[in-house]
Structure 1
Amino acid sequence: MVALDVVHASNARLRELGPDLVALFVGGTSGIGEFTLKAFVQNTISPRVYLVGRNASAADRIIKECRELNKEGKVEFLKADVTELKEVDLVCKEIQKREKKINLLFQTQGNLTLNGRNENPEGLDRKFTLNYYSRMRFVYNLLPQLRTASAEPPHFSRTLSVLGAGHEGAINLTDLDLKTTFSGARCAAHTIVMNDFMAEEFAAREHGISFLHTSPGVVNTGLTRELPIWARALMKVATPLLSLFFVSADETGQRQLFLASSGIYPPAKPAQGAPLAAGVPFPKDFSVSKGSNGKVGSGAYLVNWNGDISGNEKILSDYREKGVGKTVWEHTMGIFKQVEKINQGGIDSATS
């Protein structure tokens, strides 16, 4: 476990990366995304931050609070329902109009629901899309901006998906998108494992960018708002007991910012002669972390909320032997092509 004082000291050094860092927070209008966004704004010099979500009133509040934290920072809200990849593409096109680089892509979009499969117009389950497809689509679409960030001072470029690293379960390789075998538990297992392998697959292709999949710990994020009344009532009763195990909002934001910026989790090949390309320098008694594939500094990392390396190695090693990384990559690219055909013409006409 990385001590909290080490986390704070590292985050305070984020300013060493210089002014005008660009960050995108998807799902940042509440919970972990909001907590981390505020920590990022507070610890950087004149950052430019894009906040993607559905709740405009929450975004207005967060933007006002961020102005108090850093008067030189700029936070903009982009409203979108990213349960549909069409909306993801629209947001990405808007960002690409404004920015040539993105230093940090931080994603927490998701919901807590007991509903069954709920397909969007693209034929994908909405919860599955939040947890997985939308996240990979943001990374895929914004690779040019992430590459530019890795090529220009301070050469820092990172993506982080907060979901459930370390909580991997069995998946159905014959029904990866759970078209016919959907359940809440299967959705969790599939999206966690698929986030793991896509971090590895992206890192193997993009050597100047770090890709992290993290677990948040127990955090009171307000996700229960989409549960049935009876379930919300039970959670309200249980919250005082659960609060004993909660990671506070401030600590959550600080710890996730550490994961999003520390040099402990460098890209596979940081830019030469650029000491900050790996992220904030770490103390002498720390070392570069082991990547998800077992290799130190691989560029892809599965990390617990407290900074420890995570991932169910027994499950993941078995899947690696079966070539599941390649299977997940090909499946995801196939889904993207399928959705692009469905949405053909819609994006262009909406942005013309």
Structure 2
Amino acid sequence: MAVRALVVGGTNGIGYAMACRIASEAKSSVIISGRTKPQSIPHPNIEFRPLDASSMQQIKQYANAFKQSAQQQQLDLLIMTQGIMTMAGRTETPEGIDRKMAVHYYGKQLLIRELLPALKDDAKVVIVFDGKYGNPDKLNWDDLDLKRNFSLGNAANHCMIMNDAMIQWWAAQQRQQGIHHTRHFVHAYPGGVKTGILRDLPWYLRAPAWALGSLIAVSPETCANNLLNGVSKSAAEGNDHGRFWSNIDNKGRLIGNKAIWTEEQMQRIAEHTWKLVDGR
């Protein structure tokens, strides 16, 4: 089946493998976006569009241009795999957001919001970060963007948990608005994958990280195959039961023990998110 996809973070690693897997299917077309164009684009139906996914302003400009150019070709898949591996402390973008949190959470949610009009009624939206291990009990409700309580662990957990909450929020919005859409929102856990992201680690951590990765990590191609199959299966099963969000693991299996967020909790996280990304 012909698929039109946008893969943000698709210039390397998991995103690149997912983009190539989709592009290998007849009549499909894929747009990949990231900071730097890949040296090799193996399929003629892959197009590159640059994007700094840590900048909320750039995301808005990118999305506006995308919607203007894609009015007749809406998306079947919006996939966001952008990530950053760093041991640095809080490092703010010019917009006052920690760069790691901007890439792993705020930019992903802004892309969904801004590109929603460009999605087909039955499109699938996929966040690849960590839909498995977040701890809701450790969410700091009074400091969601961690201006005062930043640590690497807190930042990772907040991004995991807020992405979890927001896929449920998007599904709830779809239902509450009475729109006859069956868009499905997925937060995926990729597990250990042999990607170039380890190059961003301090030099003294690269060797042990590579050694551990060689034992437990899979190739980006294997990960891409597992996640894409899991997205299709979880969306079909969820839609059959009126559930338009899913968390999946690195094998593409549904994670069934996720916390269910209340309407008040989801709305509080959404309002915080929009206030921050819009600079209000």
Structure 2 residue 102 is matched with structure 1 residue 129: yes
Instruction: Give ranges in structure 1 of 5+ residues lacking alignment.
Output: 1-14, 68-73, 151-155, 267-287, 342-352
Structure 2 residue 137 is matched with structure 1 residue 164: no
Q: 2:142 aligns with which of 166, 171, 174?
A: 174
User: Quick one: percent identity of the two aligned structures?
Assistant: 30
CA pair 187-75 structure 1, distance change in 2 beyond 3 A: same
For 1:302 and 1:219, locate their aligned partners in 2 and report how far apart those are by CA, in whole Å: 18
Q: Deviations over 1:306-328 (max 9, x none)?
A: 12222654xx25xx359421211
For 1:83 and 1:321, locate their aligned partners in 2 and report how far apart those are by CA, in whole Å: 29
Structure 2 residue 67 is matched with structure 1 residue 85: no
Retained in 2: the 8 A contact 1:162–1:213?
yes
Q: Deviations over 1:13-59 (max 9, x none)?
A: xx2xxx4x32110001111101111111112x322311111122x2x
2:275 is matched with: 334
> Secondary structure at the residue paired with 2:146?
coil
Q: Higher strand fraction: Structure 1 or Structure 2?
A: 2
Q: Deviations over 1:68-127 (max 9, x none)?
A: xxxxxx221111211111111122122112112111100011111000011111111110
Retained in 1: the 8 A contact 2:230–2:253?
no
Retained in 1: the 8 A contact 2:167–2:187?
yes
Structure 2 residue 239 is matched with structure 1 residue 258: no
Deviates more, 1:322-331 or 1:132-141: 322-331
Q: 1:47 aligns with which of 16, 22, 28?
A: 28
CA RMSD of aligned residues (A): 2.0
Letter in 1 for 2:148: T
Structure 2 residue 43 is matched with structure 1 residue 66: yes
Deviates more, 1:185-194 or 1:242-251: 242-251
For 1:327 and 1:144, locate their aligned partners in 2 and report how far apart those are by CA, in whole Å: 23
Letter in 1 for 2:117: P
For 1:311 and 1:176, locate their aligned partners in 2 and report how far apart those are by CA, in whole Å: 25
Structure 2 residue 165 is matched with structure 1 residue 197: yes
Structure 2 residue 219 is matched with structure 1 residue 248: yes
Q: How far is 1:337 from its partner?
A: 2.8
Retained in 1: the 8 A contact 2:129–2:187?
yes
For 2:190 and 2:140, locate their aligned partners in 1 and report how far apart those are by CA, in whole Å: 25
Letter in 2 for 1:307: G
> Secondary structure at the residue paired with 2:79?
strand
Structure 2 residue 206 is matched with structure 1 residue 232: yes
1:35 is matched with: 17
2:113 is matched with: 140
For 1:54 and 1:42, locate their aligned partners in 2 and report how far apart those are by CA, in whole Å: 23
Deviates more, 1:129-138 or 1:295-304: 295-304
1:112 is matched with: 85
Q: TM-score, normalised by structure 1?
A: 0.72
After the TM superposition, which parts of structure 1 deviate over 6 Å for at least 4 consecutive aligned residues? Answer: none
Report the count of equivalent residues.
Answer: 270
Retained in 2: the 8 A contact 1:166–1:311?
no
For 2:68 and 2:255, locate their aligned partners in 1 and report how far apart those are by CA, in whole Å: 37
2:177 is matched with: none
For 1:255 and 1:41, locate their aligned partners in 2 and report how far apart those are by CA, in whole Å: 16
Instruction: Give ranges in structure 2 of 5+ residues lacking alignment.
Output: 175-180
Instruction: Map residues 210-225 of structure 1 onto 2, 5 A cutoff.
Output: 210-225=184-199
CA pair 311-55 structure 1, distance change in 2 beyond 3 A: farther
Larger Rg: 1
Structure 2 residue 253 is matched with structure 1 residue 308: yes
Q: Deviations over 1:274-302 (max 9, x none)?
A: xxxxxxxxxxxxxx24x9xxx94410111
Q: How far is 1:263 from its partner?
A: 4.7
